[in-house]
Structures are given as C-alpha cells and as structure tokens.
Amino acid sequence: MATAGVVANGPNNEEKQAVGIDGPTNPMVTPLLNDLYQFTMAYAYWKGGKHNERAVFDLYFRRNPFGGEYTVFAGLEECIRFIANFRFTEDEIAFVQASLPPSCEIGFYDYLRGIDCSDVEIHAISEGFVVFPKIPLMRVEGPVAVVQLLETPLVNLINYASLVATNAARHRFVAGKSKLLLEFGLRRAQGPDGGIGASKYCYMGGFDATSNVAAGKLFGIPLRGTHSHAFVSSFMSPDEITEKSLKSSDSSNICEDFVSLVQAWLSKLKFGTSYEALDVLDVYHLLEKESEWSQLLGGIFGETNQSELAAFASYALAFPKNFLALVDTYDVMRSGVPNFCAVALALNDLGYKALGIRLDSGDLAYQSCETRKFFQAIEKEFGVADFGRTNITASNDLNEETLDALNKQGHEIDAFGIGTHLVTCYAQPALGVVFKLVEINNQPRIKLSEDVSKVSIPCKKRCYRLYGKEGYPLVDIMTGENEPSPKVGERILCRHPFNESKRAYVVPKRVEELLKCFWPGRSGNVFVSSAAPMTELNPYQVHFLCASDILYLGVHKFMQPVSDGKEREELPPIKLIRERCINQLNLMRPDHMRRLNPTPYKVSVSAKLYDFIHFLWLNEAPVGELQ
C-alpha cells in the first residue's frame, strides 16, 4: 500500500538522528518520485559496470521567468532533506523490479538496496539568493547511477519553488515595500502540494502572510484572513442576533444591546453628526449639517442593507478585537462601507479598534479612494483618532499588471490578497530547470545544440558574484574548479560563454563565492574517484590548464580528499531566508528589476573556461562535408 511505503521510507529514527535532517515535508517525495528512465539508465550503468564512476551534474535554468531578468532560488532545503534521507524501502525496490523488464538481473536490486547519498556531495547557492540563467544553482557530484536517480526529484523540488518565489518577489516589487501582501491561493493552487508550496515560497519571496492554515503549522508562516461573501449573505436581518451584549475592551462596562448601538451609529452617519451635539428643535441647523455631510460624501447612502449590517455586527460580537468586513456583497459605497463604519464606531465606543475592510470586486482604485474619504470624514466629524487610516484590503484576480494599473491610477489600498495568478504562476507555468552532466571521471562533458542557449557549460566549476564600487552586483562568473578565485581590486576578464565579442574587464570591490557545500556526504570524506595522478591528466585538462594550475591541481585536487573535514552549510529558518531574499532583491541595480525591458544581468565565464568550452565544442562537434 502506498502509505506503508511512505511510512517506511528513508532511514529509521536512529539513523535520522545521525543524519540530523528531517525528511522532505511532503511524504510523496521518495526515490520513486522519478521518471522511469532514471531507473533504466541506472540499470544500464550498473550492468555496464559504470555505476560508480564519479559524475558531476549542474542544475540550472536557461531563462528568467515572467519576462524578467532575475529569479529567486528556492527549494534547496527540501532537496537536502531528500538527499539526507535518500534510501529505498523494500516495497519500493519490489515496485521498481516489477516495472523494469524481467530480464534485468537481480543483483541490481541488491545494489539499489545498498545505496544512499553518503557518497554524494552537493554544492549550492544559498536559498533565497537572486540567481541568473546558466549559473549552477546546485552542483551534484557522486556515483553516476545514484546522481542520475536524483535528477527528477531535485529538478521537481527546485522548479516550482523558484518560479513561485520569483512570482511573489515580482508582485512585491510592483505593490511596494509598505503594502501588506497576503497569499490567498490555496483553493486555486495545483493540488495540495501546489498549495503548500505556494504558501511557503510566496512567504520566502516577500509576502507577509498566508490564509493557508496547514502552511502556517508546517512552516510557522503568519496566518491572516478576512471573511467571505457567504458569511454576509447567510444573514437575513438584525433580528437574528440573539446574543447582543458586548463587554468593553477594559471590561469596565457592558453594552447590553450592541446591535442597537450599531443602529444608532448608522443614523448618526446618515446626518453626519451625533444627535447629542444637536439642538433637535433647530431643524434648520439639522438640514444644514446634513447637506454639508452629503456634500462631503457625495450624498452616497440612504438605507443600507440590513442583512449585511447584521452580518457585520455579528462578526464584531465574535471578534471585537479583530473586526473586519467584506464590503462588496451588495453595494460598496451605499451599503458595505457605511455599515462597516457603524459597527466600527460602535466598537470604538467600547474601546475597540476595527481592523478594516476588504474590497473584492469592481474598480478597486476608485472604491478605495472613496472609502478613504469616507473614513477621513468620519475621523474629522466624530473625532475618532486614526479612523481615517483604517486598513483597506483589496482582492479579486489581482496580478502584476492590475497592481501596476492601480499604482498608476492612484489608490488607497493598504493590503492585497492575491490568489490565482500568484500561486498558479499564470503568466508562466514552469521555470525550465535542467540537470546536465558536466564531468565524468574528471573528463569534462558538453551537451551541444543547434540552439546556442542550450549548449551546456562543461567542467566542475566555481561561481562568483562580483560587486562594483556602488555596491551592486555587476556580473556572475564561472571558472574552472581549480582556477584561482577572482580577487578584490584585481582586474579579471569576464567573457560571455558563447559570444566572442562580448567581454569586459571587471575590478571587483567585493567577491562572493556562490556555491557552498550543503551536503559533504555523510562520511564527510568524499574522494575524487580514482585519485588520478597529475601524469594522467586527460588532453582536455592539459589544454585547459597552464603550468601553475597543474601545480595547483596537483596539490589540491588529485592528492587530497576533496571534502575531507568539509563543513556543511546550515539550513536557516524560513524567516531568515525571507529576509535574505528581500536583502538580495534590494541590492540589485534598479534597471535589472524594472518590469518593462529590464537590462539583462551579465553571466560570464573566465577566459580559460571560455577557451576550454570552445576547444571541447570543436572536439565534439563533427565537421560537416559539402558535396
């Protein structure tokens, strides 16, 4: 049964403690969450005696999503949780056996039984970083058959996570830093995992809270919410409310009939003054006052909807400290807003401050401005401090474009609730993350394509971000693993990987190494396979290296265990990743971030890596013959 597999998957508790990393959040993330061809390839590697050859794969994407020039890297922690607990259960092995041809030798299943990721080493960019095409987000090194089995799950865990985190960051960018952004997408997400993932990664990408309770529990994301039209339309009349008493906020007195207090405020609102302040015999004065108030508010309301008033009063009785109201069920300005204000002012009498309203249809810019005027008029007329600043939340099919349109028109919205477009990544449904072999047994590999953007960048590489004197990142650069790192204040040539004429010297003010070790293998003592001596360098390596490099490699690569004693990077809590992401986005030069025709961020390779890519390209590409 599937659940038995889920429960039994991964190491037992004792082993888990030794690893110290919990399994993936979603129990469906097992070694079987894979494409069949990973198993057929693993079998063929094993059958050919190739399975333990040491391979290096890069995980990267080719184009930024949403027509932008940046991406937020997300999903790393779930990858490490997967790697740390990677192990086949008997149940799973039996299923693989049943799925492969019967001619597959039984020894392969013993092999599967024995594998885990203790021989795998993962370097990755930190989660929450702003990242760019072609730069490896993860470099996965290990026995080729094992790493091959990681491809699909790792790509799956990164693809949507990074896409939706980027989508969230883009919505934040348009909305502005001061707005509260609420993720409301669970009902519209692509299934339960889509919903949970959206809540997690939208928070990471800069949203403030989610309506998704399960995500709140799993990740500690702040929960927020209002109420729906159903609650409003479920009421028929104020007579339905039987329990009408409400204690004041300091419990010093009790209002026995809160509904009547609300009604009294509603009629005060109609005339724009409190009856107590009027000499009721002064009819002329009353009419004058009414007309002033009408002018201020454009004579906007007469009789409001009483069932809506009942819903609001009832909600306030349930949540006097957290009262908010969805005001568009019947008519925003003629009913919803005045009804809300009547309830809010009644609450104010008892020492409570209403939270605000939500608009969910119509022209959100116009309605928010009209509502703000109404709130401000009340603050002025009735002397209720801060009433003019009562929170206005808007929702209804919002996306980057509508947020942008609202900004251009001018609006008074404080918070946006965004669902469908955000979580489904309506504007672009996939990021296009790939996982490509770049080296096997120390032999660099390249994947050629007619389409230059699809040619892979060979070799086990290091990646750096170079910062300029103004503090902005200028360029990312990939180098061969054993090239000396770029140095602050030293000029380095950065080359476009495929376009000969595109190159620039950079003198970095700051150099940041991007790939850090997140999984050194459980032994922490992973060796480069077959520890090839210098004299056995292959022709590609000889071409690639100058004499000093060979000396460097001789000492550092081929004679020493690569990750001996290597420390594993911490997996920080989501709140810190979110802060890191916000800081990273703030650090970018504005022209890379703008929505219309953003400037591409430069991604480059060192001069040596450039030469080597092209040497390998020529070596691997057959020469055509014209007749």
Ligand X SMILES: O=P(O)(O)OC[C@H]1O[C@H](OP(=O)(O)OP(=O)(O)O)[C@H](O)[C@@H]1O
362 binds, among ligand NIO, ligand ATP, ligand X, none (CB under 5 to 8 A by kind): ligand ATP
Please work out the total of residues on this chain that contact ligand NIO, with binding judged by CB under 6 A: 8
Q: What is the DSSP string of 461-510?
A: EEEEEEE-TTSSEEEEEEEETTSPPP-TT--EEEE-SS-TT-EEEE--SE
364 binds, among ligand X, ligand ATP, ligand NIO, none (CB under 5 to 8 A by kind): ligand ATP
Is 225 one of the binding residues for ligand NIO (CB under 6 A)?
yes
225 binds, among ligand X, ligand ATP, ligand NIO, none (CB under 5 to 8 A by kind): ligand NIO
Please, what is the minimum distance in Å from the beta carbon of residue 220 to ligand NIO?
Answer: 19
208 versus 331: smaller Cβ distance to ligand ATP: 331
SS3 575: helix
Interaction pattern, residues 181-210, with ligand NIO; x per rule: CB under 6 A: ---x--------------------------
223 binds, among ligand X, ligand ATP, ligand NIO, none (CB under 5 to 8 A by kind): none
Residues 542-601 contacting ligand NIO, CB under 6 A? none
Is 336 one of the binding residues for ligand X (CB under 6 A)?
no
- Interface residue with ligand X among 407, 420, 428, 441 (CB under 6 A) is 420
Residues 6+ apart with CB under 8 A from 186: 195, 198, 199, 210, 211, 212, 419, 423
* Integer angstrom CA distances of residue 309 from 259, 320, 384, 483: 9, 15, 21, 72
314 binds, among ligand ATP, ligand X, ligand NIO, none (CB under 5 to 8 A by kind): none
- Interface residue with ligand ATP among 133, 362, 524, 561 (CB under 6 A) is 362
- Interface residue with ligand NIO among 71, 85, 211, 305 (CB under 6 A) is 211
SS3 437: strand
- Report the run of H or E that residue 175 belongs to, with start and end: helix 144-175
Please work out the total of residues on this chain that contact ligand ATP, with binding judged by CB under 6 A: 12
Long-range CB contact pairs, 362-367, < 8 A, 24+: 362/328, 362/332, 364/394, 364/396, 364/402, 364/406, 364/411, 364/413, 365/405, 365/406, 365/409, 365/410, 365/411, 365/413, 366/409, 367/328, 367/332, 367/333
SS3 556: helix
Is 327 one of the binding residues for ligand ATP (CB under 6 A)?
no
Is 419 one of the binding residues for ligand X (CB under 6 A)?
yes
Alpha-carbon radius of gyration of the chain = 31
Which residue is nearest to ligand NIO, using beta carbons? 225
CA–CA separation, 341 vs 375, rounded Å? 8
**Burial of residue 487 (number of CB atoms within 10 Å: 0-12, 13-18, 19+):** exposed
DSSP-derived letter for residue 621 is S
Q: Which two tokens stand for residue 31?
A: 């070694």
Residues 363-422 contacting ligand ATP, CB under 6 A? 363-365, 396-398, 402, 405-406, 409
- Interface residue with ligand X among 57, 109, 184, 382 (CB under 6 A) is 184
Please, what is the minimum distance in Å from the beta carbon of residue 183 to ligand X?
Answer: 9
Is 399 one of the binding residues for ligand NIO (CB under 6 A)?
no
Binding site for ligand X (CB under 6 A): 184, 187-188, 360, 395-398, 417-421
- Contacts with ligand ATP, residue ranges (CB under 6 A): 361-365, 396-398, 402, 405-406, 409
